[in-house]
Amino acid sequence: MLTISSNVTLADWEIDISQIRAQGAGGQNVNKVASAVHLRFDILSSTLPPLYKERLMALSDQRISKEGVVIIKAQSHRKLELNKEDALARLKELIQSATKPQKVRRATKPTKGSQRRRVDHKTRKGKIKSLRGKVPAS
């Protein structure tokens, strides 16, 4: 059972965890031991509240497919148990990040002083650059 918040939990049957072989270079056990974890979680058929489902489906995360399946691959550790914990923690973090309210962006304007300083700086640079021309022959 995975606890998301005080009133939201996910049952074990909702999360499909399978063992796979980790990618990349390895030692003697690389072709024998399946220590990586492939976690699959179907958002639409889960027991999450509708608000959670809507927000998760609206996320533009590459781990969420168009069908609403979250796929997480964990292979950073050498032990299967640690990779399982890592995958579950990443799923929990993803669900919690979807439920946080986004800050509303307020449009701002530059101050008069900053506008004046920018223009003054531009005119000074322009004067310096105008002095870089060829020296007139006397």
Share of the chain above pLDDT 70, in %: 93
- Asked whether the predicted pLDDT for residue 26 surpasses 70, the reply is no
pLDDT bin (cut points 50, 70, 90) of residue 133 is confident
- Asked whether the predicted pLDDT for residue 63 surpasses 90, the reply is no
In 97-116, which positions are buried (b, 16+ CB within 10 angstroms) versus exposed (e)? ebeeeeeeeeeeeeeeeeee
The whole-model pTM stands at 0.68
Written in H, E and C, the secondary structure of the chain is CEECCCCCEECHHHEEEEEECCCCCCCCCCCCCCCEEEEEEECCCCCCCHHHHHHHHHCCCCCECCCCEEEEEECCCCCHHHHHHHHHHHHHHHHHHHHCCCCCCCCCCCCHHHHHHHHHHHHHHHHHHHCCCCCCCC
Question: Per-residue pLDDT tens for 82-132?
Answer: 999 999 999 999 988 888 888 899 999 999 999 999 999 999 999 999 888
- Asked whether the predicted pLDDT for residue 28 surpasses 80, the reply is no
Per-residue pLDDT at 118: 97
